[in-house]
Structure 1
Amino acid sequence: MSNEDITLTAGDAEATVRPGNGGRIAGLRVGGLELLRQGERYGCFPMVPWCGRIRDGRFRDGATVHQMPLNSPPHAIHGTARDGAWDTARVSQNEAVITYDLVDPWPYPGRITQVVTLAEDSLTLTMSVEPQESSFPAQIGWHPWFNRSLGREDVRLDFQPAWQEERGADHLPTGRRIDPRPGPWDDCFGMPDGVDVTLTWPGQLELRVTSPEKWVVVYDEQEAAVCVEPQTGPPDGLNTHPHLVTLLEPLEATTTWTWRAV
């Protein structure tokens, strides 16, 4: 199967999918404006089979402790699928289906499927994790890098989380839920009715990131971009909020970005 770049179009929107570079959305242009930060590490990449950091790179499955590579010492971060080449299963003008088979260092065989669907006013990302043999804990999330500026004023973020996960000195949640604090953020928030975050580039575009999931990490400590990351659990969730993926119950998640001119 091919893993060449894919271009999707709908109206004046164009999305570039790069299966060969971690299954990421490398670009999203709306009316000629590029919304995503450009570069091999940026765009919007899938976080799977875990999201954010795993404390010391270790997670427990029953009595077995697994060690992941410490790619963000002293922790492991953002899963393994963003480092691999995905395969293209199906493509149409406005939709792509790509897959990735889990391999070492992840200890369990399984298949990730991601569906990218572009409409004139939205982009929908859907992902699933299916085990091929035994069950295992997993998470799904997305890590978009939205450009802070589209050439005019900086983007404004609006959201109403129910709580913020208190962040420890090691950048991981302490387990305490606190009242949301002002940014800048590299923090996880709870939105029990579903993720709903609005990014507004004044005088240009408004984009809503929504998801049925109740966790979102917001990262805006870099000058060039802001990140709004819907996910199925908090950082270190393989240890604190494990979701067991089984043959009968794969893990599935979705997020939609909807935009309009302002």
Structure 2
Amino acid sequence: MTEETTETKGVRLTAGDAELTVSPDNGCRIGSLRIGGTELLRQGPRYGSFPMVPWCGRVELGRFRDGGRSHQLPVNSPPHAIHGTGRDVAWRTVRTGPDSAAFTYDLADPWPYEGRVTQSFDLTADALTVTMSVETEGDSFPAQAGWHPWFLRDLGEGGADVELSFAAEWQEERGENHLPTGHRVPPRPGPWDDCFGMPDGVDVTLTWPERLELKVTSRSAWVVVYDEQAEAVCVEPQSGPPNGLNTLPRLVTPIDPLEISMTWSWRDLT
């Protein structure tokens, strides 16, 4: 596994007063996003924003079935497998420009199917759009894709903590094993390490009072919100719920790749 620590090297994109750094050698994660010189993503251990692919969140006991075949994934968060393999490998740079870039990597062991993942970044002065696709190079297979950002809880200089605002249609009931039970319940107050359903698309607002407002949007219907740590909060658009390889498989076929995108848009509140 690639060590998950701040990587200063990478591909740097700029637009207006926005500056984005992508680290293809460290899981093609966003290492930094600065707006007007202010960093929005946690640095140090567990930093930036990493892609979750070819699955999102936890897979129960690391096992999933595809038809009559059963597969075992590495249990990297005992007793489950978590967050995919894309964050653990180096990605190839396909193209770079002043405000856009694209990267790819080939699916390989321990993932049991051949395929290719592509991730692109497009930055403007007030928004970032990230798109990820999963294609098969052989057999069809179930897969998921999404992102796991670590947004700073506060932006420093004595500012107030971030406030989260969203209106979900339901919350996936979470069992003691941290996996959805299969029951949908009305959204409950935090703190959260929970998956929410937004059938009209993910729409979550993070507000650092008197500093910055940032909206996370996606056409996907699923988002995990995690705010149980002191330093950071996570808003994670993804193509299906945790353990979805088993409970809600989305098949990637030669004529139907999986594609997901998210946009972070922001405005200054000062």
Q: Same fold (TM over 0.5)?
A: yes
Q: Is the 8 A contact 1:111 1:130 kept in 2?
A: yes
The residue number in structure 1 matching 2:215 is: 208
Q: Structure 1 unaligned runs (5+)? A: none
Q: Which amino acid aligns with 2:24?
A: P
Matches of 1:179 and 1:51, distance apart in 2:
23
The residue number in structure 2 matching 1:67 is: 72
The answer on 1:105 being equivalent to 2:110 is: yes
SS class of match (2:61) = helix
Out of 10, 18, 21, the residue aligned to residue 5 of structure 1 is 10
The answer on 1:193 being equivalent to 2:194 is: no
Please tell me the root mean square deviation across aligned C-alpha atoms, in Å: 0.7
Structure 1 residue 35 displacement after superposition = 0.3
Matches of 1:41 and 1:35, distance apart in 2:
14
Q: Is the 8 A contact 1:165 1:176 kept in 2?
A: yes
Q: Is the 8 A contact 1:21 1:40 kept in 2?
A: no
Out of 84, 88, 91, the residue aligned to residue 89 of structure 2 is 84
SS class of match (2:182) = strand
The residue number in structure 2 matching 1:20 is: 25
Deviations 1:58-100 (A, max 9, x none): 0000101100000000000000010000010000000010001
Out of 55, 58, 62, the residue aligned to residue 53 of structure 1 is 58
Out of 174, 181, 188, the residue aligned to residue 181 of structure 1 is 188
The residue number in structure 2 matching 1:237 is: 244
Structure 1 residue 104 displacement after superposition = 0.5
Q: Is the 8 A contact 1:164 1:177 kept in 2?
A: yes
Count of residues in correspondence between the two structures: 259
Q: Which amino acid aligns with 1:252?
A: E
The residue number in structure 2 matching 1:33 is: 38
Which runs of at least 4 in structure 1 moved beyond 4 Å after TM superposition? Answer: none
Q: Which amino acid aligns with 1:163?
A: W
Q: Indicate the percent of aligned positions where both proteins have the same amino acid.
A: 68
The answer on 1:258 being equivalent to 2:265 is: yes
Matches of 2:16 and 2:235, distance apart in 1:
25
Q: Is the 8 A contact 1:25 1:43 kept in 2?
A: yes
Relative to the length of structure 2, the TM-score reads: 0.95
Matches of 2:262 and 2:51, distance apart in 1:
11
Q: Which amino acid aligns with 2:84?
A: G
The residue number in structure 2 matching 1:228 is: 235
The answer on 1:169 being equivalent to 2:187 is: no
Deviations 1:231-251 (A, max 9, x none): 000000000010000110000
Out of 160, 164, 173, the residue aligned to residue 167 of structure 2 is 160
Relative to the length of structure 1, the TM-score reads: 0.98
Structure 1 residue 39 displacement after superposition = 2.7
Out of 30, 43, 48, the residue aligned to residue 48 of structure 2 is 43
Q: Which amino acid aligns with 1:201?
A: W
Matches of 1:32 and 1:223, distance apart in 2:
23
Q: Which amino acid aligns with 1:154?
A: D
Structure 1 residue 40 displacement after superposition = 5.2
Q: Structure 2 unaligned runs (5+)? A: 1-8
Structure 1 residue 5 displacement after superposition = 1.0
Matches of 1:90 and 1:40, distance apart in 2:
28
Structure 1 residue 49 displacement after superposition = 0.2
Matches of 1:39 and 1:47, distance apart in 2:
19
SS class of match (1:216) = strand
Q: Is the 8 A contact 2:46 2:150 kept in 1?
A: no
